[in-house]
Amino acid sequence: MTPLKYKNVSILLAMVSLVFLFNSCDDEYGSRKESTPVIESASITENFTFGSSVTLKAMLTDPATVLSTLSYEIQESGRIITSGDIPVSGSSAEVSYDIYVPLLSNQPDNAQLKVLLTAKNVLKGISTKELTSVGKRPVYSRLYLVTDDNTVIMLNPKSSDRNVFEASDLLLENTFRFKIAEKLTNDNAIDYTGAVFGNVNGRIAMIDDRGESAFVHARVKLRFYRNIQLQ
Protein backbone atom coordinates (compact mmCIF):
# COMPACT_ATOMS: atom_id res chain seq x y z
CA MET A 1 0.00 0.00 0.00
CA THR A 2 2.80 2.37 0.84
CA PRO A 3 4.38 2.37 -2.67
CA LEU A 4 0.98 3.14 -4.19
CA LYS A 5 0.58 6.15 -1.91
CA TYR A 6 3.98 7.47 -2.99
CA LYS A 7 3.01 6.96 -6.61
CA ASN A 8 -0.16 8.99 -6.14
CA VAL A 9 1.82 11.74 -4.42
CA SER A 10 4.28 11.78 -7.35
CA ILE A 11 1.46 12.14 -9.87
CA LEU A 12 -0.07 14.94 -7.82
CA LEU A 13 3.25 16.78 -7.61
CA ALA A 14 3.70 16.46 -11.39
CA MET A 15 0.26 17.96 -11.99
CA VAL A 16 1.00 20.83 -9.60
CA SER A 17 4.29 21.47 -11.45
CA LEU A 18 2.44 21.67 -14.78
CA VAL A 19 -0.02 24.17 -13.33
CA PHE A 20 2.85 26.36 -12.15
CA LEU A 21 4.50 26.03 -15.56
CA PHE A 22 1.40 27.24 -17.41
CA ASN A 23 0.89 30.05 -14.90
CA SER A 24 4.52 31.08 -15.44
CA CYS A 25 3.97 31.21 -19.21
CA ASP A 26 0.90 33.34 -18.72
CA ASP A 27 2.85 35.78 -16.52
CA GLU A 28 5.68 36.09 -19.06
CA TYR A 29 3.77 36.15 -22.31
CA GLY A 30 0.33 37.34 -21.28
CA SER A 31 -2.99 35.53 -20.99
CA ARG A 32 -3.64 32.75 -23.47
CA LYS A 33 -7.20 33.96 -23.99
CA GLU A 34 -7.76 35.05 -27.60
CA SER A 35 -8.62 38.73 -27.90
CA THR A 36 -8.62 41.66 -30.31
CA PRO A 37 -6.59 44.84 -29.79
CA VAL A 38 -8.55 48.08 -29.56
CA ILE A 39 -7.41 51.32 -31.25
CA GLU A 40 -8.98 53.66 -28.72
CA SER A 41 -7.94 56.79 -30.62
CA ALA A 42 -5.68 57.74 -33.53
CA SER A 43 -4.70 60.89 -35.41
CA ILE A 44 -2.14 62.05 -37.95
CA THR A 45 -0.99 65.44 -39.25
CA GLU A 46 -3.85 66.59 -41.46
CA ASN A 47 -1.85 68.76 -43.91
CA PHE A 48 1.83 68.44 -44.74
CA THR A 49 4.38 68.88 -47.53
CA PHE A 50 5.80 65.81 -49.27
CA GLY A 51 9.43 65.31 -48.35
CA SER A 52 8.77 66.03 -44.67
CA SER A 53 7.49 64.10 -41.65
CA VAL A 54 4.01 63.62 -40.21
CA THR A 55 3.23 62.67 -36.62
CA LEU A 56 1.08 59.63 -35.93
CA LYS A 57 -0.51 59.44 -32.47
CA ALA A 58 -2.53 56.49 -31.19
CA MET A 59 -3.76 54.86 -28.00
CA LEU A 60 -3.97 51.04 -28.05
CA THR A 61 -5.38 48.65 -25.45
CA ASP A 62 -5.87 44.92 -25.10
CA PRO A 63 -7.09 43.77 -21.68
CA ALA A 64 -6.48 40.06 -22.28
CA THR A 65 -3.33 39.74 -24.42
CA VAL A 66 -0.03 41.57 -24.77
CA LEU A 67 0.19 44.07 -27.66
CA SER A 68 2.96 43.60 -30.23
CA THR A 69 2.83 45.96 -33.23
CA LEU A 70 1.13 48.99 -34.74
CA SER A 71 1.58 48.89 -38.52
CA TYR A 72 0.91 51.84 -40.84
CA GLU A 73 0.53 52.23 -44.60
CA ILE A 74 0.09 55.58 -46.38
CA GLN A 75 -1.60 55.35 -49.79
CA GLU A 76 -2.48 57.78 -52.58
CA SER A 77 -4.87 56.50 -55.28
CA GLY A 78 -3.95 52.92 -54.38
CA ARG A 79 -0.20 53.56 -54.56
CA ILE A 80 1.71 52.85 -51.35
CA ILE A 81 3.87 55.89 -50.54
CA THR A 82 5.38 54.54 -47.33
CA SER A 83 4.75 51.86 -44.70
CA GLY A 84 6.27 50.46 -41.54
CA ASP A 85 5.86 48.79 -38.14
CA ILE A 86 5.98 50.40 -34.71
CA PRO A 87 6.79 47.95 -31.85
CA VAL A 88 4.48 48.20 -28.82
CA SER A 89 4.02 46.08 -25.69
CA GLY A 90 1.93 45.63 -22.58
CA SER A 91 -1.84 45.77 -22.23
CA SER A 92 -1.92 49.43 -23.30
CA ALA A 93 0.39 51.61 -25.37
CA GLU A 94 0.47 55.31 -26.20
CA VAL A 95 2.18 55.96 -29.54
CA SER A 96 3.68 59.21 -30.85
CA TYR A 97 5.74 58.45 -33.95
CA ASP A 98 7.19 60.61 -36.77
CA ILE A 99 6.83 59.16 -40.27
CA TYR A 100 8.86 60.53 -43.20
CA VAL A 101 6.67 60.81 -46.31
CA PRO A 102 8.75 61.03 -49.51
CA LEU A 103 7.91 62.97 -52.66
CA LEU A 104 7.48 60.34 -55.38
CA SER A 105 7.46 60.83 -59.13
CA ASN A 106 4.21 62.12 -60.64
CA GLN A 107 2.92 63.02 -57.18
CA PRO A 108 -0.14 65.30 -57.52
CA ASP A 109 -0.56 68.42 -55.42
CA ASN A 110 -3.15 68.37 -52.61
CA ALA A 111 -3.16 64.57 -52.77
CA GLN A 112 -5.87 62.87 -50.72
CA LEU A 113 -4.13 60.20 -48.66
CA LYS A 114 -5.38 57.13 -46.83
CA VAL A 115 -3.53 56.11 -43.68
CA LEU A 116 -4.28 52.47 -42.81
CA LEU A 117 -3.46 51.35 -39.26
CA THR A 118 -3.30 47.75 -38.05
CA ALA A 119 -2.87 46.89 -34.36
CA LYS A 120 -1.67 43.36 -33.48
CA ASN A 121 -1.19 41.35 -30.29
CA VAL A 122 1.16 38.44 -29.61
CA LEU A 123 -1.55 35.89 -30.50
CA LYS A 124 -2.05 37.55 -33.90
CA GLY A 125 -5.33 39.20 -33.02
CA ILE A 126 -5.76 42.34 -35.15
CA SER A 127 -7.88 45.46 -35.50
CA THR A 128 -7.75 48.19 -38.12
CA LYS A 129 -8.51 51.88 -38.48
CA GLU A 130 -8.38 54.32 -41.41
CA LEU A 131 -7.28 57.97 -41.21
CA THR A 132 -7.01 60.65 -43.92
CA SER A 133 -4.50 63.39 -44.65
CA VAL A 134 -3.63 65.83 -47.45
CA GLY A 135 -0.15 66.00 -48.98
CA LYS A 136 1.06 69.11 -50.79
CA ARG A 137 3.88 69.35 -53.28
CA PRO A 138 6.82 71.51 -52.17
CA VAL A 139 7.25 74.86 -53.94
CA TYR A 140 10.74 75.91 -55.11
CA SER A 141 11.86 79.28 -56.46
CA ARG A 142 14.76 77.61 -58.31
CA LEU A 143 16.69 74.35 -58.38
CA TYR A 144 20.27 73.40 -59.25
CA LEU A 145 21.46 70.50 -61.38
CA VAL A 146 24.81 69.35 -59.96
CA THR A 147 26.76 66.76 -61.94
CA ASP A 148 29.21 64.34 -60.36
CA ASP A 149 32.09 66.32 -61.94
CA ASN A 150 30.87 69.47 -60.07
CA THR A 151 29.18 71.24 -62.97
CA VAL A 152 26.32 73.39 -61.62
CA ILE A 153 23.38 74.46 -63.80
CA MET A 154 20.55 76.65 -62.53
CA LEU A 155 17.01 75.48 -63.29
CA ASN A 156 14.28 78.11 -63.31
CA PRO A 157 10.51 77.57 -63.11
CA LYS A 158 8.40 78.38 -66.13
CA SER A 159 6.02 81.30 -65.75
CA SER A 160 3.19 79.17 -67.13
CA ASP A 161 3.71 76.31 -64.64
CA ARG A 162 5.77 76.72 -61.47
CA ASN A 163 6.14 72.94 -61.25
CA VAL A 164 8.18 72.86 -64.46
CA PHE A 165 11.90 73.70 -64.18
CA GLU A 166 14.06 74.07 -67.25
CA ALA A 167 17.42 75.17 -68.58
CA SER A 168 18.02 75.57 -72.29
CA ASP A 169 21.15 75.19 -74.44
CA LEU A 170 22.89 72.80 -72.09
CA LEU A 171 26.32 71.55 -73.08
CA LEU A 172 26.63 68.21 -71.36
CA GLU A 173 28.10 64.86 -72.25
CA ASN A 174 25.84 62.25 -73.79
CA THR A 175 26.02 60.34 -70.51
CA PHE A 176 26.34 61.95 -67.08
CA ARG A 177 25.37 61.50 -63.44
CA PHE A 178 23.69 64.26 -61.45
CA LYS A 179 21.59 65.34 -58.49
CA ILE A 180 19.01 68.12 -58.28
CA ALA A 181 19.38 70.38 -55.23
CA GLU A 182 17.22 73.09 -53.71
CA LYS A 183 20.20 74.75 -51.97
CA LEU A 184 23.96 75.10 -52.49
CA THR A 185 26.70 75.96 -50.02
CA ASN A 186 29.04 78.93 -50.54
CA ASP A 187 31.47 76.72 -52.49
CA ASN A 188 28.70 75.39 -54.78
CA ALA A 189 28.40 72.03 -53.07
CA ILE A 190 24.98 70.50 -52.38
CA ASP A 191 23.41 71.72 -49.14
CA TYR A 192 21.46 68.77 -47.73
CA THR A 193 19.40 70.93 -45.39
CA GLY A 194 17.26 71.55 -48.48
CA ALA A 195 15.54 69.09 -50.79
CA VAL A 196 17.83 66.93 -52.94
CA PHE A 197 16.73 64.57 -55.71
CA GLY A 198 18.63 61.55 -56.96
CA ASN A 199 18.26 57.88 -57.78
CA VAL A 200 15.91 55.79 -55.61
CA ASN A 201 15.39 52.28 -57.01
CA GLY A 202 15.78 53.50 -60.57
CA ARG A 203 13.52 56.55 -60.16
CA ILE A 204 14.11 60.18 -59.34
CA ALA A 205 13.04 60.94 -55.77
CA MET A 206 14.19 62.82 -52.70
CA ILE A 207 17.41 61.53 -51.14
CA ASP A 208 19.66 62.33 -48.17
CA ASP A 209 23.44 62.74 -48.22
CA ARG A 210 23.83 58.94 -48.54
CA GLY A 211 21.66 58.74 -51.68
CA GLU A 212 22.85 57.98 -55.20
CA SER A 213 23.18 60.23 -58.21
CA ALA A 214 20.80 59.71 -61.11
CA PHE A 215 22.15 58.37 -64.39
CA VAL A 216 20.93 59.72 -67.75
CA HIS A 217 21.65 59.81 -71.47
CA ALA A 218 20.97 63.32 -72.80
CA ARG A 219 22.42 66.29 -74.61
CA VAL A 220 19.52 68.72 -74.88
CA LYS A 221 16.99 70.49 -72.69
CA LEU A 222 16.37 69.24 -69.16
CA ARG A 223 12.92 69.61 -67.66
CA PHE A 224 11.83 69.05 -64.07
CA TYR A 225 8.10 68.42 -63.90
CA ARG A 226 6.85 66.64 -60.80
CA ASN A 227 9.60 64.13 -61.57
CA ILE A 228 12.78 64.51 -63.66
CA GLN A 229 12.42 64.06 -67.42
CA LEU A 230 15.03 64.44 -70.11
CA GLN A 231 13.92 65.28 -73.63
The domain that contains 128 carries what CATH number? 2.60.40.10
Predicted TM-score (pTM) above 0.95: no
Task: Determine the pLDDT at residue 30.
Answer: 46
For residue 214, give Cα distances in angstroms to 52, 71, 147, 189, 197.
21, 32, 9, 17, 8
Question: How many domains does the structure of the chain reveal?
Answer: 2
Task: Determine the pLDDT at residue 23.
Answer: 47
Same domain, 151 and 183: yes
Final residue in a domain of this structure, among 72, 106, 136? 136
* 180 touches 224 (CB < 8 A): yes
Segments of the chain scoring below 70 in pLDDT: 1-33, 169, 216-231
In a domain, 28, yes or no: no
Final residue in a domain of this structure, among 136, 158, 183? 136
The residues pairing with 126 across neighbouring beta strands, listed in sequence order, are 120
Same domain, 151 and 218: yes
Same domain, 50 and 69: yes
Same domain, 116 and 155: no
In a domain, 211, yes or no: yes
Give me the domain span that covers residue 185. 143-230
Same domain, 129 and 149: no
In a domain, 46, yes or no: yes
Task: Determine the pLDDT at residue 52.
Answer: 86
DSSP conformation letters of the chain:
-HHHHHHHHHHHHHHHHHHHHHHHHHHHH---S----EEEEEEE-SEEETTEEEEEEEEEE-SSS-EEEEEEEEEETTEEEEEEEEE--SSEEEEEEEEEE---TTPPTTEEEEEEEEEEETT--EEEEEEEEEEE----S-EEEEETT--EEEEEE-SS-TTEEEE-S----SEEEEEEES-B-TTS-B-TTS-EEEEETTEEEE--TTPBPEEEE-SS-EEEESEEEE-
Final residue in a domain of this structure, among 84, 116, 136? 136
